[in-house]
Amino acid sequence: MTALEDRTIHYIVHGPDGAIRQSGDCALSLLPHYAGIYGEGFKAIEVPADQYRRDIDAHCYVLDGVITSKSAALDVTEYTVRADGFDTVRLALPAGTSVLHAGEIVAIEDNVFEFTTDVLGEHRFSFIAPAGFHHFEVTIHAV
């Protein structure tokens, strides 16, 4: 093994969707083995020192082989609705977004989240966004 192959590098493993599944440090010679841990379609790449951070998966994803910053899925995350059972909050969401509801992950199939209630108070929802976006929460005030 050469000194170049033995040097320690920062790396990430990402899936076909661009989501970063693993990050860390390893010898350059070991990099090809890391993608194989996850299976077909996963890739392991070296990350330049100036781009690496321990929580890189929370802030970045891989788009066409390039480490890219995630975007916000929504500009506004707080809404108000009348608690009359008719008034509705509708949110257009990125394709592939899911919501955590009653302890389960529910896919939002039509990319639109709708909420109507007749219960006064704050209603909070946690969303799992696709790789290019930060996960996020929405609070809906029912008045």
Q: What is the pLDDT of residues 50-73, one digit of tens each?
A: 999 989 999 999 999 999 999 999
Cα separation, 103 vs 31, in Å, equals 36
Q: Among all chains, which residue has been given the structure tokens 């949110």?
A: 91
Full-model pTM = 0.84
pLDDT > 60? residue 1: no
The answer to whether 132 and 93 have CB atoms below 8 angstroms apart is no
The answer to whether 30 and 23 have CB atoms below 8 angstroms apart is no
Question: What does the block give as tokens for 58?
Answer: 């929370």
Cα separation, 75 vs 72, in Å, equals 7
Report helix, strand or coil for 115: strand
